[in-house]
Amino acid sequence: MKDHDYKKIGLKAGLEIHQQLNTTSKLFCSSPAELKDTKDATYEFYRYLRPSKSELGEIDRAAMEEGIGTRRFTYKAYASTGLVENDDEPPMEMNLEALKIALQIALLLHMQPFEQVHTMRKLVIDGSNTSGFQRTALLAVDGQVSLRSGPVKIDTLSVEEEAAQIVDKDVYSLDRLGIPLVELGTAPDLKTPKMVKELALTIGTILRACTVKRGLGTIRQDINISIVGGVRVEIKGVQALELVEDIVRFEVSRQLNLLKIRDELQARGARVGNPIEVTSIFTRTGSKILKKKRVWGVLLTGFANLVGKEIQPGRRLGSEFADRAKKKSVAGIFHTDELPRFGISSKEKDALLQFLEAEERDAAVILADESAKTCVEAISAVIERAREAIEGVPEETRRALDDGSSEYLRPLPGAARMYPETDVSPIPLPKEVIEHVKLHLPEKLEDRTERYKRDFFLNDELAHQIARSENNRLFEQVMSLWREKDSDITKDETKDAATLVVRTLEGVIAELKRDGVPIDRLKRKHILDVFQLVRCKTISKEGVPGVLRLLTECDTKTADEAAIELGFVMLSERELKTIVDEVVQSQLDFIKARGMGAIGPLMGVVMKQVRGKTDGRLVNEVLQAKVLSVLQ
């Protein structure tokens, strides 16, 4: 796909990142900040949400679309869920562990924290917060990050509560509600898709240096995009970094194509009709979707071949109509640009067009449902979108899809409805506190990688891998203990040890997990002990996976016991010498005949007797020494 001239188009993009923090408990209560499996839910309860009117009697347009007051939300709760999550108790004061991490992130981004942090209630009535609002506090502003193309401003950093996880339509799970989040917002300063990706990567690296949660869903990225002549559109839920450039590119294409469609529609004097019932045309249809349902449609004057026009790879203007209709609970739509197809015959298509008195330059949209009421609501939504198509690009919040395109999610919300959370005290952040945090900022990833290369002689790849891993602290602990016990360890030995530890923590343990081994039963002590066994040459490095696996089966066993049980305990040098002596003694003639050439075959004999309980290199050394001494 040919890339656009972004400068000419006047692309303005901004990034909004939500990152979960890795604290012990949630932001405003003492429940554990952990995700659960919904099958572990112990009870559920049901609520309605209604926003209070503001002084001026306004209600947010997004709120209206949510269907205030009549949607019954189901909340699934767990043994660990408390009354604060249920909105049956006032919140605790803000979790200072979370605030500290947020402050560290702010300072790493060169932002200015406010001197007093106020927690606000931000109205959210889609059901994802039991109280009907999200607690959020603005912590810092005016930061900056350096990209290859120059600096980018980081506008705001807020600390806020994570929302409840949606499980099904109007069903939420409370495990995620209240986990601390940091929300970062940039100014719409990004001018190309590459810049957007680079910024996401750069910020991601800084975030991972701090105590943040890792794994799928712990970071969410939203991109807002506008072009000259278009409007600001927010695309939510960009998961994979690899998709970022495509998402920006495809959205620009979508807006440009919609503007082209607008121009064409206006040139044709296009108009949108009224809802009409057309059930009678499809009484004998072969379409499973239309059969035995009420069918409603609308005439779109001047829309011929535009509804079916591709605006993004795999998506057409008709897809936008379908998105709106689906919000009103119909399965989808059909439009005449794509018919006859899907079981709808050309006879039926012609009958439809004739019924609507359509001309060659016109198109029609139909949809079906058991309820006429639903049909009318859905076709009205299509009508609204069709009218917007004649105007240009509608302002929307959209959802990112896996192929880089996007679909309609909801209208762009109005200004956030916020008012003070008076149950939580404002938090002073005097200069001394900021200075203290500045002195103890987490190590940057690049710095840690270099440190690992320097101190442990790891190669670039392994150093990079363990530096960015959640296991980095464990790695350092193992190595520190290793060196403590082995004070005259050489450079090569350090490198071997470090390599083994990294490969075990990042490779072996992951493989065991894939094999279904319950590796979360492994305690820190187990891991430290296993590496001690390797250091003392009690087991060989090949024995490590087996010992770890056995320890997961019975966590009261020690690493020593596991090694013995598995028969992995290596021979001591004395035991090895005894075996080598025996073998050599029994093969004296052979040795005298072959000289040093006897070592090769004798290695095989010894190794067989040793049964893997020793390092091949050591066997070779001992055997060589013995053979040499015999030959002399």
In the complex, the residues that contact other proteins under the rule CB under 8 A are: 45-57, 69, 72, 83, 86-90, 112, 114-118, 120-123, 125, 130-133, 136-138, 142, 156, 158, 415-420, 426, 428, 430
Q: How far is the CB of 140 from other proteins (least distance, A)?
A: 10
- Nearer Cβ to other proteins (87/496): 87
For residue 295, what are its two tokens? 């069918």
Quick one: 158 or 192, whose CB is closer to other proteins?
A: 158
Which residue in the block uniquely carries the two structure tokens 């490198």?
Answer: 495
Question: Smallest distance from the beta carbon of 127 to other proteins, in angstroms?
Answer: 10
Task: Report, in Å, the least distance between residue 361 CB and other proteins.
Answer: 45
Compute the radius of gyration of the chain from its Cα atoms.
33
Report the residue number, 138 or 163, with the smaller CB distance to other proteins.
138
Task: Please answer whether residues 570 and 578 qualify as being in contact, where contact means their C-beta atoms are separated by less than 8 angstroms.
Answer: no
Q: Which is nearer to other proteins, 169 or 454 (CB)?
A: 169
Q: Report d(CA 103, CA 437) in Å as an integer.
A: 8
* Closest separation in Å from C-beta 113 to other proteins: 10
Least CB distance from residue 87 to other proteins, whole Å?
5
Residue 66 beta carbon to other proteins: minimum distance, rounded to whole angstroms: 11
Taking the mean position of all CA atoms in its chain, how far away is CA 399? 14
SS3 for 194? Answer: helix
Neighbouring-strand partners of residue 297: 276, 366
> Where does residue 231 rank: exposed (0-12), middle (13-18), buried (19+ CB within 10 A)?
middle
CA distances from 38 to 77, 165, 181, 443 (A): 9, 10, 21, 36
The Cα 364–Cα 315 span in angstroms is 18
Of 135 and 213, nearer to other proteins (C-beta) is: 135
Sign of CA dihedral 161, 162, 166, 167: negative
Q: How far is the CB of 189 from other proteins (least distance, A)?
A: 17
Q: What are the helix (H) ranges across 224-277?
A: 244-268
Smallest gap from Cβ 204 to other proteins, in A, equals: 24
What is the smallest separation between the CB atom of 416 and other proteins, expressed in angstroms? Answer: 5
157 vs 598 by CB, closer to other proteins: 157
Nearer to other proteins, 55 or 360 (CB): 55
Say which residue the tokens 């959802």 belong to: 399
Provide the angle, in degrees to the nearest 10, between the axes of the packed helices 96-108 and 193-208. Answer: 130
| 66 versus 323: smaller Cβ distance to other proteins | 66
Provide, rounded to whole angstroms, the least separation between the CB of residue 533 and other proteins. 53
> What's the CA angle centered on 104, arms 99 and 110, to 5 degrees?
125
Longest CA–CA separation in the chain, Å: 112
Residue (432 or 461) nearer to other proteins, CB: 432
Q: Which is nearer to other proteins, 430 or 604 (CB)?
A: 430
DSSP string, 94-142: P-HHHHHHHHHHHHHTT-EE-SEE-EEEEE--SSSSTTSEEEEEEEEEE
Closest CA to 163 of 77, 100, 85, 52: 85
Provide, rounded to whole angstroms, the least separation between the CB of residue 154 and other proteins.
15
Amino acid at the residue 424: V
In the bound state with other proteins, the residue whose beta carbon lies nearer, of 118 and 451, is: 118
401, 312 Cβ separation under 8 angstroms: no
